[in-house]
Chain A
């Protein structure tokens, strides 16, 4: 049994360079607090972890079902505000502990996802993109108009911390990120034998009419995608609010929605790992660029433009195509330096 697992591990992880890199990277994430205790670095990584969930959940909704969602910040903001309102003490809120306010905030984001999905069932392409763009902005208007509940420009501050030490915060964020990304990756894995959602979502994206003709209830699966994507985006939003200890209007901002898209498309859309790579490259880069703060956004935008001009598929996909090669006969993935397939020894050229 153990030997069998080890062999599977060798064949499915070690032999595929992309997965090996992912494994090493995630292991590294666990050792970072042992190497450095600098609060600034840990803080940056905590936020990167949260934004990984956010970007991956965008990829889950938009990449996999082809429903271009331009208002992904809606989930983030709804969850942040809900958990903040539940967490703050009387007279304004019920003063719930962190472990209760975060999941409930995420559930609120699920409801937001279902509401947002209702027009999505009838609209497509650019129309859907622009309608989803509208939702967080409408909510933002409501928040600014009801200052006594929402704090308006200042937001709701003074939330409870996740834990007392930054290292614990960091490990919590890593664990939450790993579990969320793993679940979303499994749900979208078209080759999986356990869950069928991956292949169904693929089918909907490629040709919705054909998918419907094959007896797939596309409406149910779109709702499912919006609910699951909304849930994880909500998790990241609620965690973010508790790490920052404030839920402000910036959580619903247009820029945040666009950030999710930029991160994901930069790394490679419809690939889950693309979103992960995009965030871990771009988010720390943005932090580094604070040294030259006036040039920060300019350099950032220029990098995005250049990468997309030369690698329109995204950087992670581009790298993967360089280091992996699919066997033309048995479709097994091989390392780039092999000339013959590792399983069926067919020539890879």
Chain B
């Protein structure tokens, strides 16, 4: 049982981390609370289904196509809708929320409301310490690890990463230092949508696809980034694994745990925030502090 808990936590936490990092990046840099974030995850999952199952393309190619297509949709969304109202925070939230609904309804119209399943890329399982881990889960975990390291390298080692962090710290000063802020925001939006797409692609074979699949991770991602501290990438990763552990523990240990897992994860978030209002790794800015 302990092995089961560990493996499930790692896989689930990894997917949550992918989603939360993208969300956290775009919030930290652009101060845009993009509620359509998990919609990109859903789009990518449907993309895999379309390319691999309906069109019969090669799995690797369809993964690639699905990620690229979702990223492009994300960029288009940003340019057409978010960028124009970026100053009005509540309007941004509402527009992205409405966009999430638009995506969901389009999927409902195109694919219908019934459950679909995407093809598995690899089959079979591997026994580690007595737990059967399917290769799909193993692949998920591998992809998550690679992407996390990639993001860390991007943010801390490259010039673009330094520009992104500078913009996050102080947009105006970054602009004065010759950083093209709007390009940076655009890039970050692309990265965020791309990360959501990667998450969608890797979990698609392990889930049933349906147009409302964006809401359960939506709530969790909200909880994770709040717990970790808004805008903090490290916080998102830590928060993702903590909340995944709570979820898995509740499912394994409590009766009726499947209903209560979300409630317990959210309860943990509320408790952490009451003790530490800026989240685990969040920085409270002087002008934003109470």
Contact = CB atoms under 8 A, between A and B. Distances in A.
A111 interface: no
Contacts of A118: 274
A302 B97 CA distance: 11
A309 B83 CA distance: 10
Nearest to A261: B94
A133 B222 contact: yes
Contact of B99 (A134, A145, A300, A301): A301
Given A122-B290, A141-B262, A309-B84, A131 B270 contact: yes
A96 interface: no
Interface string A241-273: 000000000000010001001100100010000
B77 to A, nearest CB: 10
Chain A binding surface SS class: helix
Nearest to B250: A141
B219 A133 contact: yes
A32 interface: no
Contacts of A123: 273, 277, 290
A130 interface: yes
Contacts of B269: 130-131, 134
A293 B123 CA distance: 40
Nearest to B227: A130
Contacts of B223: 130, 134
Interface string A134-155: 1101111110110000000000
B154 interface: no
B260 interface: yes
A316 interface: no
A133 B223 CA distance: 9
B98 A269 contact: no
A68 B261 CA distance: 25
Chain B binding surface SS class: helix
Contacts, number: 126
B266 A134 contact: yes
Contacts of A141: 259-264
Nearest to B226: A130
A105 to B, nearest CB: 22
Contact-residue bracket for chain B: 35 or more
Interface string B247-287: 00000000010011111101101100110011100000000
Nearest to A208: B290
B95 interface: yes
B101 interface: yes
Contacts of A269: 90
B266 A137 contact: yes
Contact of A127 (B99, B260, B277): B277
Given A130-B226, A131-B270, A262 B215 contact: no
Given A145-B260, A301-B98, A308-B95, A125 B288 contact: yes
Given A119-B273, A129-B93, A134-B270, 7 more contacts: A125-B288, A126-B230, A140-B263, A262-B98, A295-B105, A298-B109, A312-B88
Interface of B: 27, 33, 81, 84-85, 88, 90-91, 93-95, 97-99, 101-102, 104-106, 108-109, 215, 219, 222-223, 225-226, 230, 256, 259-264, 266-267, 269-270, 273-274, 277-279, 288, 290
Interface of A: 68, 118-119, 122-127, 129-131, 133-135, 137-142, 144-145, 208, 254, 258, 261-262, 265, 269, 294-295, 297-298, 300-302, 304-305, 308-309, 312
